[in-house]
């Protein structure tokens, strides 16, 4: 039974982690004057409103079955209109960073809960489940902060990169898909020591 329930739990956690990520994008946009996501009914934790069948279900399941060293996924991006934002210069950055920030908050909440957990729970599955939530949300935050379109981190680069680097901006947008694949396959796995460091910093436990 445990062998069956754990994969289901992992998928549910991944699903809600990416849903919260997307909702926070919409909430930030709404707070800055753009009601697009709210008008479309996307400011909800109902996963059916955000579900992407491949990115939210099939991709993480395939990675889990293949025993991949990491599990990632995504929900349908929450739409927003940057022209409606009250902060035209830094608004897109604020909207972009709201998603990874939500994953960091989730990692902190469950990490501190694990650190302070009474000994009565240590022999149960609870620490294992909390650990997965922490690791997953750290992975999602780091992954999305990388400065390649369409990841959230690219808005930081596009906003603060001087105009003399416009050719680099054009290059990143033009070749974003192959660059993203290169990042996922070759670069992102190298960042797992950072995940381990952050995990220990939050929980006080070696990963």
- Positions annotated as catalytic residues are 22
Q: Report d(CA 169, CA 158) in Å as an integer.
A: 7
List of E strands, the chain = none
Q: Report d(CA 178, CA 172) in Å as an integer.
A: 10
Q: Is the peptide bond before 150 cis (omega within 30 degrees of 0)?
A: yes
118: phi then psi, degrees, rounded to nearest 5? -60, 150
Is the dihedral angle over the CA atoms 157, 158, 159, 164 positive or is it negative?
Answer: positive
């Amino acid at each position: 039974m445990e062998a069956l329930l754990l994969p289901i739990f992992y998928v549910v956690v991944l699903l809600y982690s990416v849903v919260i990520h997307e909702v926070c994008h919409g909430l930030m946009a709404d707070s800055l004057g753009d009601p697009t996501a709210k008008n479309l009914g996307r400011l909800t934790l109902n996963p059916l409103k955000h579900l992407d069948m491949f990115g939210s279900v099939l991709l993480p399941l395939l990675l889990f079955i293949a025993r991949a060293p990491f599990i990632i996924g995504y929900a349908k991006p929450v739409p927003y209109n940057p022209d409606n934002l009250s902060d035209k210069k830094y608004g897109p950055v604020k909207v972009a960073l709201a998603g990874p920030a939500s994953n960091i908050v989730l990692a902190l909440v469950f990490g501190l809960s694990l650190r302070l957990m009474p000994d009565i729970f240590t022999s149960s599955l609870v620490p294992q489940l909390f650990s997965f939530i922490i690791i997953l949300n750290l992975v999602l935050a780091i992954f999305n902060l990388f400065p390649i379109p369409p990841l959230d981190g690219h808005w930081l680069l596009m906003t603060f990169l001087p105009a003399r680097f416009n050719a680099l901006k054009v290059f990143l947008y033009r070749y974003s898909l192959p660059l993203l694949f290169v990042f996922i396959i070759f670069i992102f796995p190298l960042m797992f020591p950072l995940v381990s460091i952050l995990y220990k910093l939050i929980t006080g436990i070696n990963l």
